[in-house]
A and B are shown apart, each in its own frame.
Chain A
Amino acid sequence: MQDFFLNIVWLVLLLPLLAAVINLLFGRVLGAKAGWIATGLVFLAFLVAVGVFIDVLNRPGGAPFEYDVYTWIPSGDFKVDIAFLVDPLTAVMLMVVLGVGSVVHLYSNGYMADDDRPDKGIARFFTFLPFFIFSMLILVLSNNLLLLFVGWEAVGLSSYMLIGFWYNKKVASDAAKKAFIVNRIGDFGFELGIMLLFVNFSTMATDLRYTDIFKAATDMFNSNQPLLLGNMTIICLLLFMGAMGKSAQFPLHVWLPDAMEGPTPVSALIHAATMVTAGVYMVARLNPLFVMAPDALLVVAIIGTTTALLGATIALAQTDIKKVVAYSTISQLGYMFAGLGVGAWVAAIFHLVTHAFFKGLLFLGSGSVIHGMHHAGIHDPVESQDIRNMGQMRKRMPITFWTFLVASLANAGIIPFAGFWSKDEIIGGSILRGNWFVGGLLLFAAFLTALYMFRLVFVVFFGKDNVPKEAAKVFDGERVERTMPLLWIPLVLLAIPATIAGFLGFPPDMGWIHDFLSPVFAFATEHGKEIEAGFTQPTVLILVISTMVAIIGIFAAWLAYFRQTDMPATFSRLMPGLYNALLRKWYFDEFYQKIVVDGGKALAYGLWRFDQKVIDGAVNGVAGLMSRWGGRLRRLQTGFVQGYALAIGVGVLALVTYLFFILPKG
């Protein structure tokens, strides 16, 4: 049964779509069953994906497998297929998307069922969620850029619909719009990039297939031929702009924290584990192009590092549990891009995988806490997510605590949890490749990561009990978790990979995942810098240093938020400017409000005035002139036919006079 599952790879796509369609059509009838249908079908898709994964494993040398479905756009020389490419990178993405996806589906059954809103919208939720899985799968399975873009936009659409799932909440619908619009900015660049690729390589890659584009680009690169339009750096930067939007990189990161207005499972699946990594996937997928543009890669590294620091610093001061995790996501995405930028391709994808597990887990854990707060009678969304209303949750929700702790350790980068290996590989990769600056900053960000993660852990699960009295009674009266197995089973399921997934990349730079993914990045590694790998001295040194840094971060958190809880207050008193800057997210929203929104409004107002005065004036003026003249000329139109005939006669007379009496003489 060679490649049996590869040949039914379409099934992976079809099952979530089927779930979406069923719930779209019959969701109202199915009620709560809609969730189980979606979960079942997505899990089935996961099983098929496992088969696909095993098939890919068995293919010699990770040879890519292409599956043509049909020609989508046949237009002369331009031809785009609906066709799939399954290679190790795709296989890894399939596992992540469907693995986390099925767990989140399972979790959503519990989370959404207890929703106390009048319109539960379970059917709607379980239409969008499988649809998102479907879109994401199109994105990762596509073998050409245009189909990738279809998936790219479709995940954006489902993200929009799920952020604004509680559409009657104004903040939610605003956040949805914000996410959509900010993403459009990135997509603008992405589209331009695709068009430039098409313009330059259309003769050789008429169908925008990756393989054809790479071949065409490599040929041009090797022969030192200049491109027809633009150059590789511009193309790669434009493509990266799309990634910046989708993966919430500075300065387009502003939508992601707001996206937390959506239901928590959505945050876990879309805005932590999968969709936001689409940009990372895309850059990794197009690695041969980026390798040809070292300047663009440098920009990727700089943006990634900046974002990593930015997210980590802002996360320090946030009080909303989901916002903290959201900024952590931004920060970790920054790590991934930094890894891509310095050429640690596999490390970036590795981090993508581990991050998907532990960040999904973090979100689901926060969801559990929030759900518990709801259960305890705190229904206001702001109150129930505020960490200042929490504390001592360790005893009240032990499973949540332990899994959350695992995820925090993974995120902070403590050996041997998943995040440690992947994050260290990025830091180590950048230092070993000579990017000391990037590595140093990332190391500092790692300290911050440990700090904010354990700030969360200490404040929420230990520390002072800030839970309101009535709610505390509910918590103490019963074990909230017990009543909701659907909420803790997924946590455990995710905690396992969050703990052990790091060993996929063990030993560093020589692990299984590196072997597995190496064919994908063959071209990039050929042109990149070879580094010393495995347990060599520098690697071990970096491992030790980063562990130390993380432990220092945890210690600092312990000190500030457990031992001497007045320290943060003192800090904010001493440096109010810095504290406020962190609290206000480095004033990005204010900046965009002032520059983009107000500026846009002012510009729009100006244009509106221009339109009113000049354009409308011209149009109305012309119309008015016509109307005035028409009013005068109307009198000629008597409706008296013989009058018209007379006019014809006069015309004939004039013509005859001109042609026979004036023209011959002149």
Chain B
Amino acid sequence: MGDISIGDVKIPLPPLGQLVFLPAAGLAIISGIMMITRRNAVHSALWLIMAFFNLAVMYVMLGAEFLAALQVLVYTGAILVLFLFVIMLLGLKEGPKLGGVHAAQLVAAWPVGVILMVQLLLIILFSSQPRSVHIGDIIGNQQVVWNNELVLAQGGNVQVLGQTLYTQFLLPFEIASLVLLLAIVGAIVLSRKEEPAEVEEILPALGISLGRRSLSRSSQEDQVEKKLLPALGVTYAPDATVKEYEQPTVDQPDAIGAGTTAGVELPKEK
């Protein structure tokens, strides 16, 4: 890169990488700050999208083009949109608006977070290696970023990533697919609404069981059985023991204290 010369004055331009990096990094950090401080959840989500985009820029700078694409597609395209959907789906009046913070937490969290941040920065910036090593430097015979030539010779970043993913990391990859499957099933089960009574009424007759979704028996289920079972020739008597139990009449009120007090109404204590 050259310098910008205005007349005699030559202003040395920073390297191109820095010109790209600094705005991206700054924007990412600003977006992060905005995200955690906006009162409206929708705004927070939008700022988060901003941060994700800037992170994607940095991924590209680091030669991870595929992951940059993944970042945009999965995070901003899928996850964040899911967030927005949920915020709106909930339809709560205060849902998106709930911008409150925990005052007590605020007092503790900011100092802790900031001190941690400062410490991490001190570690990163003043430890020898990360500071002295620049992306693109050549140490020994190797460039400190993957050898673009090599990567290109193998068909580019995507192909290299794919090759390692399907060979070296095959087993974790398969497990990850299982995790995704579980997440899909779990999300469906968790967010499913109970079917209306009519549906429940029909399903057992068809031999389909919806299973039991709560530990306690819902009144809906009781109703279904009450309606359905007589038709199938089964007598339905929920809690029969309780209902048919009659309090034994006590001939002698003196029986209190004579050993058995079952069914005897004890005088209420004052």
Contacts and interface: CB of A to CB of B under 8 A. Distances in A.
Interface of A: 642-643, 646, 649-650, 652-653, 656-657, 660-661
- Closest 8 pairs (CB-CB, A-B): A649-B112, A653-B116, A660-B123, A656-B119, A653-B112, A646-B108, A642-B105, A650-B112
B116 A656 contact: yes
B259 interface: no
Nearest to B108: A646
Contacts of A657: 119
A649 B108 CA distance: 10
Interface residues of B, number: 11
A652 B105 contact: no
A409 B109 CA distance: 105
Interface of A is mostly: helix
Contacts of B113: 649
19 contacts: A643-B105, A646-B105, A646-B108, A646-B109, A649-B109, A649-B113, A650-B108, A650-B112, A652-B116, A653-B112, A653-B116, A653-B119, A656-B116, A656-B119, A656-B120, A656-B123, A657-B119, A660-B123, A661-B119
Contacts of A661: 119
Contacts of A646: 105, 108-109, 112
Contacts of B108: 646, 650
B102 interface: yes
Interface string B99-119: 000100100110011011001
A652 B109 CA distance: 13
Contacts of A653: 112, 115-116, 119
A133 B66 CA distance: 89
B149 to A, nearest CB: 37
Contacts of B109: 646, 649
Interface in B118-152: 119-120, 123
B224 to A, nearest CB: 36
B119 A660 contact: yes
B269 to A, nearest CB: 30
Given A642-B102, A642-B105, A643-B105, A649 B123 contact: no
A656 B108 CA distance: 17
Contacts of B120: 656
Contacts of B102: 642
B42 to A, nearest CB: 22
A641 to B, nearest CB: 11
A227 B116 CA distance: 71
Nearest to B115: A653
A656 B119 CA distance: 8
B119 A649 contact: no
Nearest to B127: A660
A43 to B, nearest CB: 53
A642 B102 CA distance: 9
Contacts of A643: 105
Contacts of A650: 108, 112
B186 to A, nearest CB: 20
A661 B121 CA distance: 13
Interface in B82-106: 102, 105
Nearest to A657: B119
- Which of A643, A646, A652 is packed against the most chain B CB atoms within 10 Å? A646
